């Protein structure tokens, strides 16, 4: 099954499907955790795709092929890698805000409120007219029909959604728009001469990546590029909310700087960094960066040959193209949480999330896969390239992989063994102490995947590139 899933990915970037046979995929198949969805297969296949792309870049540099291996169980653990961190002697908390969750509505439906970030929490509480108290929120939600609350929270610049079934989502205008799209796209957006890869002894040595993404999917993309040798500079703003544990999880291999892009001088600084970059990865809603000189076309004009990776929640097409969203929101509105609760009932009523963040991490792996495929195109045929993907497209792909039997899903263990987690873990020396975390999953025969830099606090570095080499 993992090989078939990999075969379904490769043509999205023009790679022959039969190249899936080049990857050694071990460790069994789903169910690995208690969910009917084939999350292990999805994780292994998307990671295997990154391994093939990295191997292609290495062959482009050296003329030598190398083996690619992925363990399905390790890949599955990577889909909640934030859970397996320990900073110093204590675990890194990944607790959600107390009002995050699903609530029954007046019309007998369920509504999901995403409230981890203060601005989204304030939006939901403002709509509901209650303080930050879970019981008060539950009572207020009961005064709303689910669809009406969904739209009201979105209009208030919040995040969340009504729990739907797969069938309802398929009939929804946004679900229909997604059905017409491929898993991901690589689009030529400008002309430039072929550009060889910088000198170096790893697949992405000397490749410079600007990471303007947040939360999990986008940062996972840049982390994946870093594990194959790229110099990654994460850019965020001191005024932007963040969840600290996620930065430790996705910060491996990166430099981290802060620029407030509300100020023109900082936009100019970012454009200057882009002129010397190879990859620009951003996770804002379509059109958000336009007019600031940071759209795909604007940056390709500034830096011909740039690979621009664009992530959003619901794709560039359909009525929800500009709607904000997260992995959990996509799970909710597209029928995943309803189906999870139906097959693997929980102690609490209502829709349930599956036990990993499969959409987020798989999307990040696919973004990295697309970026490396585009770098190969730039090296061989030239051009500036746009890699375009959304959480909802990846969610649809995971659903389309099919389900395991309900009995098997319910019988699956909820956790990996201590011995497995030990074998998959390593320790990095960070500015805040020793960080224990999962190692890269993909194994390459000649250029081992590794992070040359530890995770650091946001804004730890200046917004300047290190010297190449």
Position 145 scores a pLDDT of 97
Structure tokens belonging to residue 441: 């999953």
| Residues whose CB falls within 8 Å of the CB of residue 331, separated by 6 or more in sequence, listed in order | 337, 340, 353, 354, 359, 395
Position 272 scores a pLDDT of 96
Position 98 scores a pLDDT of 82
CA 320 to chain centre: 19
In contact, 392 and 314? CB cutoff 8 Å = yes
Position 322 scores a pLDDT of 87
Position 290 scores a pLDDT of 65
125: confidence class by pLDDT, cuts 50, 70, 90? very high
- What element of type H or E holds 188? strand 185-190
Position 271 scores a pLDDT of 95
Position 115 scores a pLDDT of 86
* Strand spans (E) along 283-401: 307-312, 384-390
Q: Residues 192-196: what's their mean pLDDT? A: 97
| Residues whose CB falls within 8 Å of the CB of residue 337, separated by 6 or more in sequence, listed in order | 102, 112, 163, 331, 351, 352, 353
Q: Residues 158-170: what's their mean pLDDT? A: 96
347: confidence class by pLDDT, cuts 50, 70, 90? confident
CA 380 to chain centre: 28
Q: Residues 100-124: what's their mean pLDDT? A: 93
Handedness of CA 44, 45, 50, 52 (dihedral sign): positive
35 has a pLDDT exceeding 90: yes
417: confidence class by pLDDT, cuts 50, 70, 90? very high
Interatomic CA distance for residues 340 and 334, integer angstroms: 12
Position 93 scores a pLDDT of 67
Position 94 scores a pLDDT of 67
Q: Which CATH entry fits the domain spanning 2-92+179-316+355-444: 3.40.50.10540, 3.40.50.1780, 2.60.120.200, 1.20.120.10?
A: 3.40.50.10540
Interatomic CA distance for residues 195 and 458, integer angstroms: 32
161 has a pLDDT exceeding 70: yes
Burial readout 140-179 (b: 16 or more C-beta within 10 A, e: otherwise): bbeebebeebbebbbebebbbbbbbeeeebeebebbebbe
Position 438 scores a pLDDT of 97
C-alpha distances in Å from residue 467, one per residue of 206, 254, 275, 280, 458: 9, 14, 15, 18, 21
Spell out the domain ranges in the chain. 2-92+179-316+355-444
Give 394-425 as a DSSP string: HHHHHHHT-B--HHHHHHS-SS--HHHHHHHE
**C-alpha closest to that of 313 among 324, 305, 300, 301:** 324
Structure tokens belonging to residue 26: 């071990």
241 has a pLDDT exceeding 80: no
Q: Residues 327-341: what's their mean pLDDT? A: 97
Q: Residues 87-96: what's their mean pLDDT? A: 73
The Cβ of residue 29 has, within 10 Å, a number of other Cβ atoms equal to: 17
> Rounded to the nearest 5 degrees, what angle is found at the Cα of 55, between the Cα atoms of 51 and 60?
150
- Give the bridge partners for 387, in sequence order: 186, 309
CA 397 to chain centre: 14
The full length of the chain comes to: 469
8 has a pLDDT exceeding 70: yes
88: confidence class by pLDDT, cuts 50, 70, 90? confident
Position 91 scores a pLDDT of 66
Position 96 scores a pLDDT of 74
% pLDDT > 70, the chain: 98
Q: What are the φ and ψ backbone dihedral angles of 404, each rounded to 5 degrees?
A: -85, 170
Q: What is the pTM of this model?
A: 0.97
Position 105 scores a pLDDT of 98
Least confident of 36-50, 52-66, 138-152, 258-272: 258-272
Structure tokens belonging to residue 346: 């929980």
Position 149 scores a pLDDT of 97
Position 468 scores a pLDDT of 81
Structure tokens belonging to residue 420: 């497995």
pLDDT digits (tens, 9 = 90+) for 350-377: 999 999 999 999 999 999 999 999 999 9
Mean pLDDT, the chain, integer: 94
End-to-end alpha carbon distance in the chain: 40
């Amino acid at each position: 099954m993992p090989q078939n899933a990999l075969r379904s990915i490769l043509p999205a970037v023009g790679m022959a499907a039969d190249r899936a046979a080049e990857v050694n995929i071990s460790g069994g198949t789903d169910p690995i955790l208690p969910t009917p969805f084939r999350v292990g297969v999805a994780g292994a296949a998307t990671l295997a795709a990154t391994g093939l792309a990295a191997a292609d870049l290495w062959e482009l540099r050296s003329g030598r092929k190398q083996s690619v291996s992925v363990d399905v169980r390790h890949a599955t653990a990577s889909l909640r890698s934030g859970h397996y961190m320990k900073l110093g002697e204590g675990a890194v908390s990944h607790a959600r805000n107390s009002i995050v969750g699903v609530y029954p509505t007046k019309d007998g439906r369920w509504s999901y409120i995403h409230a981890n970030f203060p601005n989204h929490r304030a939006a939901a509480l403002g709509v509901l007219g209650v303080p930050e108290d879970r019981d008060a929120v539950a009572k207020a939600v009961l005064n709303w029909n689910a669809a009406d609350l969904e739209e009201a929270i979105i209009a208030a610049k919040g995040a969340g959604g009504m729990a739907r079934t797969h069938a309802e989502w398929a009939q929804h205008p946004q679900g229909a728009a997604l059905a017409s799209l491929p898993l991901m796209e690589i689009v030529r957006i400008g002309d430039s001469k072929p550009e060889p890869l910088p000198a170096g002894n790893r697949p992405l040595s000397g490749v410079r990546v600007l990471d303007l993404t947040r939360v999990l999917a986008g940062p996972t993309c840049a982390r994946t590029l870093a594990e194959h040798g790229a110099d990654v500079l994460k850019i965020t703003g001191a005024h932007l909310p963040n969840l600290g544990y996620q930065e430790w999880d996705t910060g491996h291999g990166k430099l981290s700087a802060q620029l407030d892009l509300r100020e023109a001088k900082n936009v100019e600084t970012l454009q200057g960094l882009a002129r010397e970059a190879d990859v620009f990865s951003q996770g804002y809603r379509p059109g958000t960066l336009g007019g600031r000189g940071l759209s795909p076309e604007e940056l390709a004009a500034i830096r011909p040959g740039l690979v621009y990776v664009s992530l959003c929640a619901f794709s560039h097409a359909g009525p929800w193209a500009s709607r904000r969203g997260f992995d959990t929101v996509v799970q909710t509105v597209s029928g995943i949480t309803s189906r999870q609760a139906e097959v693997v009932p929980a102690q609490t009523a209502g829709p349930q999330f599956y036990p990993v963040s499969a959409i987020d991490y798989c999307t990040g792996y696919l973004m990295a896969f697309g970026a490396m495929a585009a770098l190969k195109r730039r090296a061989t045929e030239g051009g500036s390239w746009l890699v375009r993907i959304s959480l909802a497209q990846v969610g649809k792909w995971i659903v389309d992989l099919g389900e395991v039997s309900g009995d098997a899903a319910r019988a699956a263990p909820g956790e990996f063994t201590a011995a497995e987690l030990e074998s998959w873990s390593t320790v990095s020396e960070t500015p805040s102490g020793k960080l224990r975390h999962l190692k890269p999953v993909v194994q390459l025969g000649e250029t081992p995947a590794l992070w040359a830099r530890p995770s650091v606090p946001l804004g730890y570095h200046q917004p300047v590139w290190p010297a190449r080499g």
